[in-house]
Structure 1
Amino acid sequence: MPGVFITFEGGEGSGKTTIAALIKEALDKEGYQVTLTREPGGVEIAEKIRDIIHNVQYTNMDRKTEALLYAASRRQHLVEKVIPALDRGEIVICDRFVDSSMVYQGIARGIGMKEVYEMNLFATENILPKRTIFFDIKPEDGLERVYANKDREVNRLDLEKIDFHKNVYQGYLSICDMFPERIVKIDASQNIEGVFQQVLERIRDVI
């Protein structure tokens, strides 16, 4: 595909969603065609699945059901939005992708990283990003941001105990070691301008 697929990853409150919007604005001004999207969601069907996954009432959701819902949402989003944009030669910036499932469901939920990875390769037909930015921030600091931001959506995953989020963080560090040619770490604990400049530099390496 002629376009460039870039994904942002990180724990809750890492700031990736804010930075994604700033990156799109900057690249738009430079004349690039940029599609900014998110997972789960991005298209109508996937957004409906997002509503189910994130609903704070569904605390009894089975962990494999959760993993399968993420994969189903990802499949629909990919074929309906991401692939067409890449075929048009656009830069696609996606807030979360397969790596999120590997750490949240594979590690933190205990399903197994390999099992979740293979499930998602089936859903995506082996499509992976050219560059993934990991927003590195300790889970305690990220959650502090979440609860300080009254306008942010608080979802079912935000309500998990701190050990869950620590497992997610360690999972991301493992993923970074597994895919060093694709994933780069950014210090997300610094101010917005500092994070923005680091991310923009890393994106310029691949566009």
Structure 2
Amino acid sequence: MYLFTIEGGDGSGKGLATKIVSEVLEREFAFSSVEVTSEPRREHPLGRLAINSVSKRLMTPEQEAGLFAADRLDHSHGWILPRLLEGRAVVSERNIHSSLVYQGIVGALGINRVAHMNAAALVPDLCIWVDCEPDLAMRRIRNETLRGVSNKEEYFETSEFQGRIREGYRSLLSEDMEMPTPFDMGAILGPISNEGSEQQLRRCLTDGIRAFLHRRPMPINVDSEAVDQYQIRQLMRLSMGQSTLSNLGTDPAKSRSDWLDGQAPWQVLKIAQERHSEVLAAASEKNLLVMPKNLLNHSMSSICGTFSLVHTADISELRSAMGPVRCVSERHSQRIVKFLHDSSGWVTQHKTLIGKEAPRSQLKEEHFSYGRLLLAIWPFRSAIRRWQLSNPKTHLRFSLGQIIRTGGHVSSVHDTLARLSLLGCGIDDESPPNDQDGLIDWWLGK
């Protein structure tokens, strides 16, 4: 879903940073996978043409920049974009900012000219700038070359040249000059100094990635709703093909078409909210501090909704099934599942018969409709929460109709209709609604 790029001069430690970033993303966040790549692509004909143009020095700077741009555009749309659409994170060692610095600033083509040549390429969601002194970079390069680890003669000449590269990155990424369109949409993390220990570098990168992703930024190159629908579609397919493994303590995922259990959607939500209010009212003051206050918040909606797709899962499996859009941190997921088990009683837990595996949790049958409903109305969660706060004396059944008729939620209507086409409308032998009025009637239970 997100494109992370690692930038910096040769010998700055981009390879190590790429490794650390991919490890952090894999360990802490719920991407379907983390894919590592680099530019120019040494294994691809277009990438080799770009590399040869620099090493042989037979072309003009503009011709060289054109070859790098051709490799990048093919890489962007042929390899990176399909992976982002599937909810994966892509970490690229070098990307557009390398061309802006090497050809645009140091090569004197101008960053606007280089940006124009790359205008159809993907925009990095987060560019991570790794920095170090040119003399240290040159020592690293020579040591690696002598050991046969790398061959960077086509990229470096002297410490003076590396100094120009470093200043180019400093000018471009420290806002001394204006980042050209469309690459001004991405975030910048850095400079991250790599002149100390690997542990220091790891700590700085980890903190920066956490800060970026915990803000839940909208991805630049893909629609997050399309990514989440892809994740739901994949889980629905898996659930339809899952078999019962009762001897292992697992249950098959449900594929019920009547998941509303004969109730209107607003009734399902209202009953769940009333039961949740009862749990909060009975809680001690100390326990109340750590309990989720609203069933429509991100974490409760994500965890209960995801349970309605996977049904039985440990925390690791649950987070994997959430995907990047519904992602909740491991620690917070543990807290919410503990609350659902210990306090609300909405979840059961058991251990499998194999080994000392983590306990598996399952949403109870009577709360299945609530979990599935949260997935269906995910695009309207925040709007319904605001409506309830603004209209405390108005019945919940009127909420969705009033929200939709304000005219400011066209995309949410479209997205909810698309989700219902995946999940079903929750009523046997009924087709999902296909327009705004049909969606309102569905909410009312008509």
TM-score by length of 2: 0.42
Two-structure CA RMSD over aligned residues (Å): 2.2
Which segments of structure 1 move beyond 6 Å, counting only runs of 4 or more? Answer: none
The amino acid across from 2:202 in the alignment is F
Offset, 1:75: 0.6
* Residue 95 of structure 1, CA deviation: 0.6
In structure 2, what is the Cα distance between the partners aligned to 1:61 and 1:162?
A: 24
Query: After superposition, what is the alpha-carbon deviation per residue over 1:49-68, rounded to whole angstroms, capped at 9, x for unaligned?
Result: 355245x4x03332112111
Within the candidate set 182, 185, 189, 2:195 is matched to 189
Answer 1 or 2: higher relative contact order, Cα 8 Å, separation at least 6.
Answer: 1
Matches within 5 A, 1:114-133: 114-121=112-119, 123-124=120-121, 127-133=122-128
Letter matched to residue 52 of structure 2? I
Q: Distance in 1 between the 2:57 and 2:43 partners?
A: 25
- The structure with the larger Rg is 2
- Superimposed CA distance per residue, residues 67-104 of structure 1 (whole angstroms, 9 cap, x where no aligned partner): 11110110111111110111111111111111100110
Q: Any gaps of 5 or more consecutive residues in structure 2?
A: 214-446
In 2, distance between residues paired with 1:167 and 1:190? 22
SS of corresponding position for 2:174: helix
User: What is the CA deviation profile of residues 9-62 of structure 1, one whole-angstrom value per residue up to 9, with x for unaligned ones?
Assistant: 0000011112212332343244532111100117634443355245x4x03332
After TM superposition, list the pairs within 5 Å mapping 1:66-145 onto structure 2: 66-121=64-119, 123-124=120-121, 127-145=122-140
Indicate conservation of the 8 Å contact 1:5/1:92, yes or no.
Answer: yes
Distance 1:43 1:206 in 2: 31
- Provide closer, same or farther for how the CA distance between residues 17 and 50 of structure 1 changes in structure 2, counting only shifts above 3 A: farther
Aligned in 2, Cα 1:74/1:35: closer, same or farther, shift over 3 Å? same
One-letter identity of the residue aligned with 1:191: S
- Residue type at the aligned position of 2:38: R
Number of the residue aligned with 1:205: 211
Distance 1:190 1:106 in 2: 30
| Match in the other structure for 1:4 | 2
Letter in 1 for 2:108: G
- For residue 37 of structure 2, give the secondary structure of its aligned residue in structure 1: strand
CA distance in structure 1 between the aligned counterparts of 2:10 and 2:133, rounded to whole angstroms: 10
The equivalent residue for 1:146 is 141
Structure 1, 78-87 or 177-186: larger mean CA deviation = 177-186
Query: Percent identical across equivalent pairs?
Result: 27
Q: Distance in 2 between matches of 1:148 and 1:102?
A: 28
The count of aligned residue pairs is: 200
Query: Where do 5+ consecutive residues of structure 1 fail to align?
Result: none
Deviations 1:134-189 (A, max 9, x none): 00112221111110122332234344233322221111011112369721210111
Structure number having the greater strand percentage: 1
